[in-house]
Amino acid sequence: MAAGAACLASSAQQAAAQGPFPPPGAAPPGVAGRPPGAPPPGFAGPPPGAAPPGAGPPPDGPPAGGIPPAAFAAFQAELAADVLPLSGNWPSPSPDPRNFEGYWRQYNILASERSADMYGAKTPLNEAGRALLAKRVASDRAGKPYVNASAVCLPTGQPLQLDINLPFAIQQNKDWVQFLFQQYHGVWTVVLDPAKQPDAGARPYMGRSVGHWDGDTLVVETSGFKQGFWLDINGTPASADAKLTHRIRKVHQGSQLGDWSLEVITTLDDPAYYTRPWSWATAYVWRPDKAPLSEFDCEYTVNRPDYITSSGLVPEPKN
């Protein structure tokens, strides 16, 4: 699809620029099934210990429309080959399971559409959600993709920001955990004390996030978004009143540095577009070689006076 192709191509180009690149087809290490405790709300789920879908190797085929097969195959090869180089005196993650500081990235292709939850059930869109997604897809197929946050260099919301195949950094102290993303200048701040929330009256693009520890799992609840956001390239929707819950833990399943990962299970609760809460899972691998983050010049492209018209984008109707 036109907008999706542009977004994915940009991600692929930057991912390739990150430097020398688990064997082709291998899943990123560190996925260890559901975190301890109850499953996300609204789910029976697989037996405890079953690895969630969505954290394995890139899919076999390109997203629908827009991505040339050869370009997609090349991007798959780049991802499969991009492992922590054996040469180099790379730092290890902190041995503290509650310390996530460092650089991380994921290996899944940017989702064209989240059509199923982490247990394989169909995404529970309600009538309004199905209608909005269908309208976005139809407009894109007609050659008039809608302008979304990523197209104008605004923060995209956590789901799409976390899906991009580029590194991000985590900094933290006793009061907050902050995710710094290379693309779209994304910053996600999680406060551990609600009284220390910055800009207390604001509704940021990334919402307002408060976290607490459940054992060694960081549970983050985010709400109060400035505007609705897209979960994927096709535009699977979330409203400004959506609630996101992330369960994040650090996992080590092996003897190598590259066997460290963050396991993140995201639950979306948004009655505006869904019949029930639903969840998906992703793993992010330890990549200290990705520091420091590279410059991302999004505005250089979109600040051209002819950008919207030349790219074929159109404003999304408010209704």
Tens digit of each residue's pLDDT (9 = 90 or more) over 126-146: 999 999 999 999 999 999 999
Q: Is residue 316 part of a domain?
A: no
- Give the domain range for residue 259: 2-311
Q: Is residue 34 part of a domain?
A: yes
Q: What is the mean pLDDT of residues 102-110?
A: 86
Q: What is the mean pLDDT of residues 215-232?
A: 97
Give the pLDDT score at 177. 97
Q: Is residue 83 part of a domain?
A: yes
User: How would you classify the pairing of strands 217-223 and 243-252?
Assistant: antiparallel
Count of domains for the chain: 1
Q: Is residue 204 part of a domain?
A: yes
Q: Where are the alpha helices (DSSP H) in the chain?
A: 2-16, 69-81, 127-141, 158-163, 298-302, 307-311
Q: Is residue 60 part of a domain?
A: yes
pLDDT in tens, 138-197: 999 999 999 999 888 889 999 999 998 889 999 999 999 999 998 877 899 999 998 888
| Dmax (CA) of the chain | 55
The torsion region of residue 91 among left (phi > 0), alpha (psi -120 to 50) and beta comes to beta
User: How would you classify the pairing of strands 187-191 and 208-214?
Assistant: parallel
Q: What is the mean pLDDT of residues 188-210?
A: 88
Q: Is residue 319 part of a domain?
A: no
pLDDT in tens, 5-22: 444 334 444 443 433 322
Global pTM? 0.80
b/e per residue, 13-49, with b = 16+ CB within 10 A?
Answer: ebbeebeeebeeeeebbbbbbbbeeebbebbebbeee
Q: Which residues, in sequence order, are CB contacts of 285 under 8 Å at separation 6+?
A: 28, 29, 30, 84, 104, 105, 106, 107, 258, 260, 261
Residue 199 has pLDDT above 50, yes or no: yes
When comparing pLDDT for 201 and 290, which is higher?
Answer: 290
Residue 130: helix, strand or coil by DSSP?
Answer: helix
Q: Is residue 302 part of a domain?
A: yes
Give the pLDDT score at 3. 44
CA distances from 206 to 29, 146, 153, 161, 209 (A): 28, 20, 13, 10, 8
When comparing pLDDT for 28 and 314, which is higher?
Answer: 314
Q: Is residue 267 part of a domain?
A: yes
